[in-house]
Every structure is written in structure tokens, then in C-alpha cells.
Chains A and B, each alone.
Chain A
Amino acid sequence: MNNLPLFALFVVLTLGAYLATRWLFLAYRHPLLNPVFLSTVALIAFLQATGLTLEEYRPAKDVMTYLLGPATVALALPLYHNRRVLKSHALPVLSGVIAGSLTTMAAALLAGRVMGLDGGVLLSLGPKSVTVPIAVEISRLTGGEASLTAAFVVATGMIGSIMGPSLLSLCRVKSPVARGLALGTVSHGQGTAVALLESETAGAMGGVAMAIAAVFTALVAPYYLPLFLR
């Protein structure tokens, strides 16, 4: 770390943006006030305005995301509290997540084809709904571009967590189990974060969906995605 003041500035700005937008979201509860979305826009605008680069932001990013791993492990606790729901709903949970994963992959590739995207971009789009580390692996396996896939994953997480809750309400999906599963299936950790704001049960189900979608997608993507490229 050769630039401590810059590092400190980035941490303070990121934390400040988060706390301010979180306060705003909790006060008004409007989906467009999504804290991740607003903070990201603010930080990118700051970097652009000052001419600072992503490379310079990286050390701060690495430190701030260090606890994401342990935080994901912590999802085991709400999962444990909801173990009875999980056991009695094993079939709906499993089939719902699998159906959603298959649909979102198919929809992305078909829409991409209609819009004339080239094959490399399409393959990078395939695993966009699962958590970054596994999406990147799938992308490498199927011939996509890892960094592009990572960007799609993050964008999907943001889009899904902004419009997911209202969309589910529009479809009259009220059960916290179903809402959490839907958010986790299409928007991995970011969807889970929004589900956690709704309720503990929804959050736990987001974690479950994220895990099932990751494993299932990793297993089927190499065979499933090529079907849409022919």
C-alpha cells in the first residue's frame, strides 16, 4: 500500500456513500434508492471527475470486500433458523430455483441473438445470474470472456435487486420463501442482500437459491448454453 491517504479517502467515501444511501433507502423504501446502485454511481462519478483510476481504487476494494466470504458463510445461520421450512418445502425450492435458472439463461441468450450480439458476448452472458467466482469459472469452461462475465454478473445483481421486489409484488408473489428464492436465483448475493432487507426468512432463502443456482448452473451450462448458439 504505497498511497495511504488515497486508500483512506476511498474507504471513507465508500463507507460514507453506503451509510448515506442506506439511510435514504430505509427512510423512503423506494427500489430506485437501492444503496448499491446509488453508491456505485456516486463513486464512479467521483473517479471520473477526479481522473482517478480503477487501479488506484483496487487496494481499498480488496480490503473492503475481504469479509464478503465470511459474510456468505454467515448466511448459514438464517438458513439454520429456517431449516424446517426448507425441509418441508424441499421440492418447491429445488424445482423453483432450477426452473428460474434455466429460464433466465435461455431468455438472455435468445434475446442476445435477436439483438445480434456475437457469440463471445453471448457465452459470457450465459452464467450471469450466479455468484461471481463460479460464473467466471463457467465462462472459462464454455468459451466466454471471464472479465465480461464478471461485469454482467454485477450488472445483473444490481438490475435484479432494483426491479425484483416490485416485479414480484406485481406478480402477486407474497410468500417470503418464494420472494427470497426468486431474488437469489436471478441476482445471487445482491438479490440476497435485498431479500435480507425484506425479512430474515427471505434472506435465508436468497442464500439457499444462490447456492442451488450456482451448483446447478455449473453442472448444466456447458451442455445447455450451446443449444442456443446453433
Chain B
Amino acid sequence: MARSFLNIIWQTALLWLVFRLGGYLVGALHLALPGNVAGMLIMFALLATGAVKPRYIEVASGFLLKHFAFFFIPISVGLMSFGSLMRQSGLALLVILAASAAIGAAVTGMSVQLLQKRREP
């Protein structure tokens, strides 16, 4: 128990380091990319080249991804500050967001599945 806790700590530190590296590179190179996504791509490259072995980050990654949704709760609470806009045109915005998300998801989901099937009949 104590050991796996320590594992989570130092593995998280490694993830954090790559996250900061991503942010730094994006800033230095003026890339149109958020630092966390850049960090994800860097970590993928490290894994693909074998510089980082999956077991170096396995425990912490498993834990963080299992609770990935948690991080969006404090962020979503921020919606509170748009109360007046919501009262004014909240329904219209809700319809727009829902309809556009639905169409986008259907287009991606169906086209990917279709192209997949065509490849492996």
C-alpha cells in the first residue's frame, strides 16, 4: 500500500515534468497547441522510442485516468458566472450546443465506422 502510494507520487512527478516540458516548448516555439496536448504527444514519443517504459508511469496513469472526470467538476462550477446570459438566451444556446455536438459526433462516429468496415470486410 505504502509502496504503491510512493509509486503514484514519483510517477505523477514524471508526468508533471513532461507536462511542463510541453508547455515550455509550445511557448518557446509559438505553436498553436495547448501545453497539455503537446505533453501528451511528447510522452507518446518517449514511449514509442522506449525512453520511457510503460511501467514507469503505469500506476499513476491508471489512477489519474480513472478519475479524469473529477477535474472537470471544479472547472464546470465556473459556469455559474454566466447566469445572466443563461437566463437571457440560455435555451437558444443549449439548443445550439446540443444540436451542433450531436451532428459532429454522428458525423465522426459514423464516418470512422464506415471507413473501418470498408478496410476490414
Taking beta carbons and an 8 Å cutoff, which residues of A are in contact with B?
Answer: 14-15, 17-18, 22, 35-37, 39-40, 43-44, 47-48, 54, 57, 60-61, 64-65, 67-81, 83, 88-89, 91-93, 95-97, 99-101, 103-105, 107-108, 111-112, 115, 117, 125, 128-129, 131-134, 137, 147-148, 150-152, 154-160, 163-164, 167-168, 171, 173-175, 177-179, 181-183, 185-187, 189-190, 192-194, 196-197, 203, 207, 209-211, 214-215, 218-219
Chain B positions 79 through 121: 1 when the CB is less than 8 Å from some CB of chain A, otherwise 0: 1111001000100111111111111111111111101100100
In the bound complex, residues from chain A placing their C-beta under 8 Å from that of B6 are none
8 Å CB contacts to A: which residues of B37-63?
37, 39-44, 46-48, 54, 57-58, 60-61
- Give chain A residues whose Cβ lies under 8 Å from the Cβ of B70: 15, 18, 35, 64
Closest Cβ–Cβ distance, residue A54 to chain B (whole Å):
5
Q: How far, in Å, is B81 (CB) from chain A's closest CB? A: 5
Name B71's contact: one of A64, A97, A117 (CB within 8 Å).
A64
Complexed CA–CA distance, A225 and B34 (Å): 20
Cβ contacts A to B, 19 pairs, < 8 Å:
A60-B74, A65-B75, A71-B15, A73-B15, A76-B42, A78-B65, A96-B107, A99-B111, A103-B104, A107-B100, A115-B92, A128-B100, A151-B79, A151-B85, A167-B105, A173-B110, A186-B100, A187-B101, A193-B72
Across the interface, which residues of B come within 8 angstroms of A22, CB to CB? 69
Chain B interface residue count, CB cutoff 8 Å, equals 74
B36 lies within 8 A of A99 (CB): no
Residues on A with C-beta less than 8 A from B94 are 155, 159
Asked if A179 contacts B109 (CB within 8 A), the reply is yes
CB within 8 A of B107: which of A99, A155, A174? A99
Q: Given A104-B104, A163-B98, answer yes or no on A64-B110 (Cβ-Cβ < 8 Å).
A: no
Which residues of the other chain, B, contact A150 by a CB distance below 8 angstroms?
A: 78
- In the complex, the answer to whether A74 meets B105 with C-beta atoms within 8 Å is no
- Tell me the complex Cα distance, A182–B64, Å: 22
Question: A-B pairs with the 9 shortest C-beta distances?
Answer: A104-B104, A100-B108, A92-B115, A76-B43, A182-B109, A96-B112, A133-B34, A74-B61, A173-B109
B20 CB to nearest A CB, Å: 8
CA distance A179 to B110 in the complex (A): 9
B2 in contact (CB, < 8 A): no
**Chain A CB within 8 A of B16 CB:** yes
Q: Name the residue of chain B whose CB is nearest to the CB of A151.
A: B82
A214 near B108: Cβ-Cβ < 8 Å = no
CA distance A111 to B103 in the complex (A): 12
Cβ contacts under 8 Å, B23 to chain A: 69
CB pair A171–B110 under 8 Å, yes or no, is yes
In the complex, chain A residues whose CB is within 8 Å of the CB of B1? none
Contact A97 B108 (CB under 8 A): yes
For A218, give the chain B residue with the smallest CB separation.
B32
